[in-house]
């Protein structure tokens, strides 16, 4: 676990409280937890373009607690990285509460992943299988609440929906009664991947709850985000792939502007982002603005210097456009 400025990133000093943001009546724009991608450098970029709240990639709580190496590789933050939610995969209340206590000084809250549909997660008892284990979710939330002394430290969950939405409403009500701060709802079932998102189900859940609800699923532009916000009546929207393709999305850009690409270069180099991550993000960002032949050339580049030369040659060095 690394922090550039531990003293000034304690949660008591963080100016923006996510819970207050969700009660503001304004659309709260959220960067989703994305394995390998929603790390410090990318969070820094999207915050420059009107993203209000960022999540870390999902971190396995057991590994995080037991391994200093895992802590150093999985969680990096700095003074400007706020408000911040650390998402954990967990199936054990004690291990989760231990993980929450470790990150408490450096984050605004934790989130329990109850929505990951990947086979390895389900096999380990993590992710989406937890939507069928409300008692375990309750125990984990309670344990974190008991172990973390800061009353402003949030504990949220991110879920998928059941085929029968009344089961999801029941799960959410039980979570609310336990003290969950807010719930993010991905509007698909565990089995669904690319099917249309069930925004009506998210609306039903929102209408059944008193705590904030965040809508998630297939949002690719600010206009779509605002539309989903109005359709569902939720308190915020969370975006994953839409932000990967266009980190400036929440600022109203329809595609990644050149300034955002150069901002990424500057941030990534300053923070020492590994080359593969640096390059992969650029591949996503430039998807819409490059031809098939240009993609073939750019995707084959194998060094930072080659990428910088390519960008300068093709897009110039004017970083204001």
Q: For residue 230, say whether it is annotated as part of any ligand binding site.
A: no
Q: Would you say 186 is a known binding-site residue? A: yes
Matching residue, tokens 């503001």: 24
The gap from C-alpha 299 to its chain's centroid, in whole angstroms, comes to 26
Answer yes or no: is 151 a known binding residue: no
Q: Is the peptide bond before 52 cis (omega within 30 degrees of 0)?
A: no
Query: CA 185, CA 183: separation in Å to the nearest integer?
Result: 6
283 is in an annotated binding site: no
The candidate with the shortest Cα–Cα distance to 250, out of 82, 37, 83, 51, is: 51
116 a catalytic residue? yes
Q: Is 241 annotated in some ligand binding site?
A: yes
Sign of the dihedral defined by the CA atoms of residues 175, 199, 228, 219, in that order: positive
Catalytic position from the list 116, 129, 172, 260 = 116
How far from chain centre, in Å, is Cα 193? 18
Is 46 labeled as ligand-binding? no
Nearest of 104, 48, 85, 80 to residue 238 by alpha carbon: 85
Instruction: Assess contact for 237 and 215: CB atoms under 8 A.
Output: yes
Confirm whether residue 240 is marked as ligand binding: yes
Annotated binding site for FMN: 33-35, 87, 186, 240-241
Q: Among all residues, which ones are annotated catalytic?
A: 116
Annotated binding site: 33-35, 87, 186, 240-241
């Amino acid at each position: 676990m690394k922090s550039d400025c531990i003293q000034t990133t304690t949660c008591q000093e963080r100016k923006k409280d996510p819970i207050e943001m969700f009660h503001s009546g304004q659309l709260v724009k959220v960067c989703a937890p994305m394995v390998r991608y929603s790390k410090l450098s990318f969070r820094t970029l999207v915050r420059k373009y009107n993203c209000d709240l960022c999540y870390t990639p999902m971190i396995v709580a057991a590994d995080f607690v037991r391994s200093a190496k895992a802590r150093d590789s999985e969680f990096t933050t700095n003074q400007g990285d706020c408000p911040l939610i650390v998402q954990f995969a967990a199936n054990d209340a004690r291990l989760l509460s231990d993980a929450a206590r470790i990150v408490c000084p450096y984050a605004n809250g934790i989130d329990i992943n109850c929505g990951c549909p990947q086979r390895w997660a389900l096999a380990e008892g993590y992710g989406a299988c937890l939507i069928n284990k409300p008692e375990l979710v309750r125990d984990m939330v309670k344990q974190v609440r008991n172990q973390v002394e800061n009353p402003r430290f949030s504990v949220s969950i991110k879920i998928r929906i059941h085929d029968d939405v009344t089961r999801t409403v029941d799960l959410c009500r039980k979570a609310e009664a336990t003290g969950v701060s807010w719930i993010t709802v991905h509007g698909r079932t565990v089995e669904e991947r690319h099917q249309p998102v069930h925004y009506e189900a998210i609306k039903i859940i929102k209408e059944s709850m008193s705590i904030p609800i965040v809508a998630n699923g297939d949002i690719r532009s600010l206009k779509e985000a605002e539309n989903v916000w109005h359709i569902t009546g939720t308190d915020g929207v969370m975006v994953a792939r839409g932000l990967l393709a266009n980190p400036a999305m929440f600022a109203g850009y329809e595609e990644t502007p050149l300034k955002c690409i150069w901002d990424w270069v500057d941030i990534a180099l300053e923070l020492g982002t590994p080359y593969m991550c640096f390059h992969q993000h650029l591949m996503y960002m430039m998807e819409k603005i490059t031809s098939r032949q240009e993609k073939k050339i750019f995707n084959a580049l194998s060094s930072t210097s080659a990428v910088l030369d390519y960008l300068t040659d093709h897009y110039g060095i004017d970083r204001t456009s």
